[in-house]
Structure formats: C-alpha cells, structure tokens
A and B are shown apart, each in its own frame.
Chain A
C-alpha cells in the first residue's frame, strides 16, 4: 500500500509520518509537494502536523487552498482514506472535509505532552485493531487544538459514533483535568460522515516505538492497512 504525505511550507511532522509508515509499518510512502497536482497513485493521504503557511490568518486556512489540496479533497470525496494529524486536522476542518474548527487552547499555552486518549469507536478503518474503551498514550504538540462545533453538530457526531477519540485521565475517565486544550466534550479526534477522513490532534505517528515512549499509535496505522488491503 502506498501512503502519500503532503508537505506544505511549514510542515514539520511529514518525516515523522514517513518514518513510521516505512520503518514501522513497512509500507511504501512518498512525499507530495503542496504545489503539485499529483497524488502519485497514493492509496492513503496523510496531512501531517506542523505550521503550514506559518499558521497565518488561522491554522490551516491558507493550506486548504494549496494546489495539492484540490486533489486531496477529490480523493476524499471519492472515498479515499485521509489521515489528518494535528495541523492536518486543522486543514481538514478548514477544507470542509470535517465539521467544526480548532481554536486557541483555552489556557493560551502551547502544549507539548503525552496525553491519554480513549477509543470511542473501534469500527472505523483507522481503529479496527483497537477495542472500544482502550486508553492510548499519545503525544500532543499544539497551540490551537480546542475542538469546537455547534451543539447540534456535537450531538450528531456523538450519535453517529463519529467521535473516535476522547481525552481521558489515567482511569480512562473524561475529566476536565484530562482535557489538555479545552476541547468540547474532550474530543480529540473525529471522523467524516463517510468514515474515510480521520482528524485528530494527538500524534499517533510519534507513538510508534518503545524508543519514543509509546507504541500505542502503531495499531492505528495497521488498522488502515488491515481495512484498505482487505
């Protein structure tokens, strides 16, 4: 399977994703340049973390108009898998691939820490190797990670099982203290209506080896492989 990782000016987790996919997952990966209109036959698109276009205007606001994004949007609309991590999540929301938006952390500070997230839906193409209720240790690194949407949208996301990950404490409970950025309902990751676009603020690609402190992100990548290859 071939993963296409988009590099925008200011992306800084594209290599993390490349390394996780090629060295841990053992699959093929290629970088996609933001100015190109070519997905090079990629089966899965990764929108990586970083600070595309310096976060000017709003995080992700300008990246969504990159030439490559028009092809990524077409890929997503055709049902192709898109894994949108951190800045990628912000871009996917700005592009309308996912509902809602990511705003400044409620405490106004950039947070770089390991957090715990709970798997809320184990039936997606990104989580089928986890069990519902699994608590994963995954790092976050962001200043604009507070997920917001209208109450109607939040209700709909929860009712449809589209809230895939929630921030939890060591006991697996969604407490206020476990919420690193003030996200509505402790939401850490959501999936599109069609189930092929996952957006999340935590970095599963940085939790793929004991050397990095956690391997809990590996099964997310393996889940894609299991589902897409099937």
Chain B
C-alpha cells in the first residue's frame, strides 16, 4: 500500500440555475471585469488515502463522489490524477 493524494472538483450541474455563480459574475463585472461571461462556484476536495496503486485510488475516490461527495441530481465532479502523498 502507498499513500496518494487526489483532488476532486465538484461543480453545479450545467444548465441548472447557479445563483452563487451569478452573484460572483455580477460582482466581477461591477469591478470592471466586463468581459466575464460566466462563473460557477463549486467545491474543491483534497483526499489522502492509502491504496494499492494510483488507479485503485482514483477508482475509490470516484466511488466516494458517487456515494457522498457529489449530489448526482445537481452536481458534476472531475477527479485529478492521483499523486503520491
């Protein structure tokens, strides 16, 4: 077993109203960043876990996302490659 670190990005499902993202977008435009088209605010989760190898660690984290970290109705998730921790 080795120790791995995996980062997970969880974002609001595309197409669903994202009031938080819209509020940040509007604030950025007010600050003068007029070119801003769209903003989405999500969560960034870092997990350290023991696993046999990187692939196993990534599979396990995918399972964690499906079961707890992301809501399948409202959120999408992306997993970064596992790196030795």
Contacts of B69 in A (CB 8 A): 57
- Whether the pair A107, B19 counts as a contact (CB closer than 8 A) is yes
- Whether the pair A58, B71 counts as a contact (CB closer than 8 A) is yes
CB-contact partner of B74 in A65, A99, A103, A105, under 8 A: A103
- Looking at chain B's contact residues, the main secondary structure is mixed
Q: Does A219 contact B (CB under 8 A)?
A: no
Contacts of A58 in B (CB 8 A): 71
- Whether the pair A148, B19 counts as a contact (CB closer than 8 A) is no
Within the assembled complex, what's the spacing in Å between the Cα atoms of A62 and B23? Answer: 27
Q: Does B16 contact A (CB under 8 A)?
A: yes
- Whether the pair A148, B20 counts as a contact (CB closer than 8 A) is no
Within the assembled complex, what's the spacing in Å between the Cα atoms of A93 and B74? Answer: 12
CB-contact partner of A104 in B19, B43, B71, under 8 A: B19
Contacts of B73 in A (CB 8 A): 93, 99-101, 148-150
The interface of chain B, by Cβ under 8 A from chain A, is 16-17, 19-20, 23, 43, 68-69, 71, 73-74
The interface of chain A, by Cβ under 8 A from chain B, is 57-58, 61-62, 65, 93-94, 99-101, 103-108, 146, 148-150, 182
Query: How near does chain A come to B15, taking the closest CB pair, in angstroms?
Result: 10
Within the assembled complex, what's the spacing in Å between the Cα atoms of A99 and B74? Answer: 12
- Looking at chain A's contact residues, the main secondary structure is loop
Query: How near does chain A come to B79, taking the closest CB pair, in angstroms?
Result: 17
Contacts of B20 in A (CB 8 A): 104, 108
Contacts of B68 in A (CB 8 A): 57, 61-62, 65
Within the assembled complex, what's the spacing in Å between the Cα atoms of A101 and B43? Answer: 17
Within the assembled complex, what's the spacing in Å between the Cα atoms of A94 and B70? Answer: 10
Contacts of A150 in B (CB 8 A): 73
Contacts of A62 in B (CB 8 A): 68
What 7 A-B pairs come out closest when comparing CB atoms? A101-B73, A101-B74, A106-B19, A108-B19, A101-B71, A103-B74, A58-B71
Query: How near does chain A come to B61, taking the closest CB pair, in angstroms?
Result: 15
Identify the closest chain B residue to A103 (Cβ).
B74
Contacts of B74 in A (CB 8 A): 101, 103, 148
Within the assembled complex, what's the spacing in Å between the Cα atoms of A154 and B74? Answer: 14
Within the assembled complex, what's the spacing in Å between the Cα atoms of A61 and B10? Answer: 14
Contacts of B71 in A (CB 8 A): 58, 61, 94, 101
Identify the closest chain B residue to A99 (Cβ).
B73
Given contacts A65-B68, A100-B73, A148-B73, contact A108 B16 (CB under 8 A): no
